[in-house]
Structure 1
Amino acid sequence: MNIVITGGAGFIGSNLTRTLSEHPEIAEIRVIDNLSTGSKENIAGLDVHFFEGDIQDAALLDQAFRGADAIVHLAALPSVPRSVKDPLASHHANATGTLQVLEAARRAGNLHVIAASSSSVYGANPHLPKHESLTTAPMSPYAVTKLATEAYLGAYHHSYGLPVLPFRFFNVYGPGQRADHPYAAVIPRWISAVLAGQPVTVHGDGTQTRDFTYVGTVCRVLTDAILRRVVEPRPVNLAFGSRISLLDLIPAIESAVGLRALTDRAATRVGDVPHSQADGTRLRALFPSVDPVRIHEGISATVDWFGGSIAPVAPSPRHSPCVTSMVIEETRSCRPLVKAFQE
């Protein structure tokens, strides 16, 4: 099989590239990335055909898609705050970019397209856990672009017979995730801060909850979807129904790093969803064999990638103890990723 990964030099894309390269069924991996958030160093040493450029370049897409069997569309401008600051840039990259990918997949012979949407589409809908039939209520321009992404996939399936699979990602984290830019996700940002002896910034009261999903688990699901050619035009939550508050995330990081965390408080960010938890019923029906990595195991592997794991100390007394355990096999494949993000 020949696979194209848009955004393949980014955090999730480079992890997926590494995972796919371990499967003999995959003959060729092609990566498209404009390097706006990704890096060539993330895929250094991997046997990939790299296309540097933007997904809004139709000619580039046609070249990369020629002879391919499936597309994993991960290219996007991430971050809710980024989209609030510049909504047009997010729209062009995420909504228009997806439309260009789908058109190119159609021109190439109706290729199988797997794409990343986001749990942010649930937005202001307070129902927990979030199941895919809930009314969506986006709270940010980013969420709107991701709703457009999955809606376009469904429309192209029904209008043109395109085989598609839209996933709603829930706060993916793990080795290779950058902490050195203004829109860094909370787990790498806080790990980096604790290792540096700097305070972690808690926006709002810290009771917000998230259904964090380890990148190795995400890669396993995406790989299985490719190899079995799973087609489902309806959105599928890619998370497993666990959730943790930001305040409880702090002792998990403390336990893995072996240092106490200092904390600062800041105002709640515009567009932030207060609570997130997935209903994984549809996911488990499609991928019954996937066993998710637990949050403490995933954080331990992420700290290990950062190179900062030292002798453990007890978590802060305000929290219950957190126990880390040996990371299962799928986390090990992520550890060789280049650590250039933190340098």
Structure 2
Amino acid sequence: MSIIKNKKVLVTGGAGFIGSNIIGKLLTQNNEVVCLDNFATGKRENIANYLTNSSFKLIEGDIRDLLVCREATKDIDIVLHQAALGSVPRSVNDPLTSNAVNVGGFLNVLVAARDAGVKRIVYAASSSTYGDNEQLPKVEDHIGQPLSPYAVTKYVNELYASVFARVYGMELIGLRYFNVFGPRQDPDGAYAAVIPLFVKSLINGVPPKINGDGSFSRDFTYVANVVQANERAATVHTKEAINTVYNVACGSRVSLNELVASIKELLTEYQPEVSAIIPEYGPERVGDVPHSLASIEKAKTLLGYCPSHQFHDGLKEAIGWYRDFFIMRD
């Protein structure tokens, strides 16, 4: 497997769920890692174990500050840009802040990296870019109209990346993440992702709340697959693999009803009473895409990407982490 080693790597949003998982892998491979985070959504506990590592440096700052971005990109070999304000509902409620962080912040990172001589940037794109395109599976070259401010911001990132590649000769690769889940994903935030939210509800004996009738489906992607994709994108050298975007997913989909059933099955081993809990159903969320399924052929062919965890394998690992998380907290 192509891995990042003996490099100085900047991970923006490194205290977040995905960023901290990436950092953990990088530090096992003789890299120096700089983490840039303002802790708006990132958690200090996610990087607590790295603070004593001499190969790790934390810069507490905001990507909306160009000077901070310049400090963070100094002497860096590779940038793995994970910093963003996620969540479709958050962007619907506050499009100005989502745009300032996801677009303005991304542009600051690009400018700072350009001026620092950083050639390779891998950035977190999003499956939300497919918008109202109903084609399944989703193929990179066919997108639709965005359905939320968040989707607009992530598509603008792709446009800026394309321009910086053409105008400044930089190497930029976007990874369109599909519903990532796994250890360190926050179950408590106002915009918590669906898997930790459902797990939290069931562990607490509360019926999980499903938006819609539960038939909406997603290509749920375990975080280890995302870490792999970042490493492969950061180290690929073939010309056709660079300055483009890739789907990062498993290439299979699970409905929300099936998701709840799978979580209940795994939790029942520890809490038999969970099996009797019935979900509650409510209105669909504004901006939600009904179905999401990725073609991962492009990533397989050009990056050598192959999911190490299919949905049920990843869910089993994630459930174990969440049980330990809630037990320790209680």
TM-score if structure 2 supplies the norm length?
A: 0.91
Amino acid at match of 2:8: N
Deviation at 1:226, TM superposition (A): 2.5
Alpha-carbon distance in structure 1 between the residues aligned to 2:93 and 2:328: 24
- Decide whether the 8 Å contact of 2:131 with 2:143 is kept in 1: no
Deviation at 1:31, TM superposition (A): 0.3
Aligned equivalent of 2:47? 43
Amino acid at match of 2:143: T
Deviation string for 1:193-229 (max 9, x for gaps)? 1111001001011110100110011112212333446
> What residue ranges of structure 2 are gaps of 5+ in the alignment?
1-6, 269-273
Deviation at 1:341, TM superposition (A): 10
Match of 1:91 among 83, 93, 99: 99
Amino acid at match of 1:100: N
Alpha-carbon distance in structure 2 between the residues aligned to 1:49 and 1:290: 31
- Decide whether the 8 Å contact of 2:16 with 2:46 is kept in 1: yes
Alpha-carbon distance in structure 2 between the residues aligned to 1:223 and 1:22: 13
* Richer in helix (by share): 2
Aligned equivalent of 1:251? 261
> Within 5 A, what are the aligned runs for 1:73-112?
73-112=81-120
Alpha-carbon distance in structure 2 between the residues aligned to 1:31 and 1:339: 27
Amino acid at match of 1:233: N
Match of 2:310 among 294, 318, 339: 294
Deviation string for 1:235-285 (max 9, x for gaps)? 211113110111111111011111323311110000000010001111101
TM-score if structure 1 supplies the norm length?
A: 0.87
Aligned equivalent of 1:190? 198
Alpha-carbon distance in structure 1 between the residues aligned to 2:213 and 2:329: 28
| Corresponding residue SS for 1:253 | helix
Aligned: 1:65 with 2:73: yes
CA gap of 1:123–1:252, structure 2 versus 1, over 3 A, is same
Aligned equivalent of 2:156? 148
Aligned equivalent of 2:4? none
| Corresponding residue SS for 1:3 | strand
Deviation at 1:60, TM superposition (A): 1.2
| Corresponding residue SS for 1:30 | strand
Aligned equivalent of 2:271? none
CA gap of 1:43–1:229, structure 2 versus 1, over 3 A, is farther
Alpha-carbon distance in structure 1 between the residues aligned to 2:266 and 2:290: 26
Deviation at 1:340, TM superposition (A): 10
Aligned: 1:240 with 2:250: yes
Aligned: 1:21 with 2:31: no
Aligned equivalent of 2:285? 269
Amino acid at match of 2:132: A
Please list every run of at least 4 consecutive aligned residues from structure 1 whose deviation after the TM superposition is greater than 3 angstroms.
227-231, 338-343
CA gap of 1:342–1:151, structure 2 versus 1, over 3 A, is farther
Deviation at 1:41, TM superposition (A): 1.1
Moved more, 184-193 or 218-227: 218-227
Aligned: 1:6 with 2:22: no
Amino acid at match of 2:209: T
Alpha-carbon distance in structure 1 between the residues aligned to 2:328 and 2:102: 24
- Decide whether the 8 Å contact of 2:179 with 2:219 is kept in 1: yes
Percent sequence identity over matched residues? 39
| Corresponding residue SS for 1:132 | coil
Alpha-carbon distance in structure 1 between the residues aligned to 2:326 and 2:232: 27
Aligned equivalent of 2:3? none
Alpha-carbon distance in structure 2 between the residues aligned to 1:274 and 1:252: 20
Alpha-carbon distance in structure 1 between the residues aligned to 2:281 and 2:233: 41
Moved more, 159-168 or 217-226: 217-226
Alpha-carbon distance in structure 1 between the residues aligned to 2:235 and 2:26: 10
Deviation at 1:23, TM superposition (A): 1.0
Tell me how large the CA RMSD over aligned residues is: 1.7
